[in-house]
Amino acid sequence: MNDFVNQFWNWYVILLVLVSIIACGVLLWTQSSPPAGSKVDTTGHVWDETLEEYNNPLPKWWMWLFYITVIFSLVYAVLYPTLGSFPGLLGWSSSGQWAKEMARFEEQTRPLYANYMKTDVKALAADKEANETGKRLYLTYCMQCHGADARGSKGFPNLADNDWQWGGEPAQIVETISAGRMGVMPPHAQLGAETIKDLAAYVRSLSGLPADSVRVAKGQEAFNSAGCSGCHGPDGKGMHALGAPNLTDKVWLYGSSEATIIETITKGRNNQMPAWKEFQQARLA
């Protein structure tokens, strides 16, 4: 890569640009008029026996338009970064332009976000303008995981239902977005295939899904003895403080089939919601 940043390539680009522009002007000049006293020949194209195409010079108006583009190109190359590493007399750069636009945008939006920070979340939820702002932010930063309609997908929570893994109070949601969440379901392969199948049957029964009654009874015993109730609660209703899902509703993050539940118990699950606190602070700085 060092070969592409030395002065040879800098001068190579400068010469290539200048020669290309000047060559266009020279080509135009050589084609602008026939030699003095010379006869204009035809191009050899003939239609309807006597209709011939002559090789006349370009029209003057077209020629001067072309000259103007050549002059414009030379002026542009002097004012803007065109000639190798030369930054141009105006000192313009795409990164500098982007920084100015972002600074202007931040200047306009900072007071708005600062005002939102002072307002209660429930009040913001009733504010149409705040909702539109939140929607645009969601579609920019959140829809990649939770979907454009916020209904999620396999492994990504549905935000449009009434099921909350970490709690649905405003403070809990703010905490989730700001600090992120790390949801961990530890693997339990050590319990053995039969016990895990019993547990899967019991978990399915908690939400009213069909399951073998014998396995359900064994699974209920294993649910308490294997420590599952420590996170999901003795009744299987989960625990917001740990992010342990409610197993008694009909909401499934990975699916409700027996095979999927067995896979979850055997291999465990790891889910991470990234933290956006630094992003928020950057917007208000």
Is 182 strand, coil or helix?
strand
C-alpha distances in Å from residue 22, one per residue of 18, 58, 77, 105 = 6, 19, 12, 41
**Cβ atoms < 10 Å from Cβ of 142:** 18
CA torsion 160→164→167→172, rounded to 10°? Answer: -40
In residues, how long is the chain? 285
CB within 8 A of 154, min separation 6: which ones? Answer: 253, 254, 255
55/51 Cα distance (integer angstroms): 13
Run of H or E including 46? strand 42-47
Residue 45 labeled ligand binder: no
Residue 148: phi and psi, rounded to 5, are: -65, -30
Chain centroid offset of residue 75 CA = 38
**Cβ atoms < 10 Å from Cβ of 170:** 14
Q: In this structure, are strands 51-54 and 181-185 parallel, antiparallel, or unpaired?
A: unpaired
Chain centroid offset of residue 201 CA = 40
Residue 143 labeled ligand binder: no
Residue 145 labeled ligand binder: yes
HSE-CB of 94 using CA atoms within 13 angstroms = 2
Residue 24 labeled ligand binder: no
Give the residue ranges of the annotated binding site for heme c: 142, 145-146, 185, 228, 231-232, 273
Residues flagged as binding site: 142, 145-146, 185, 228, 231-232, 273
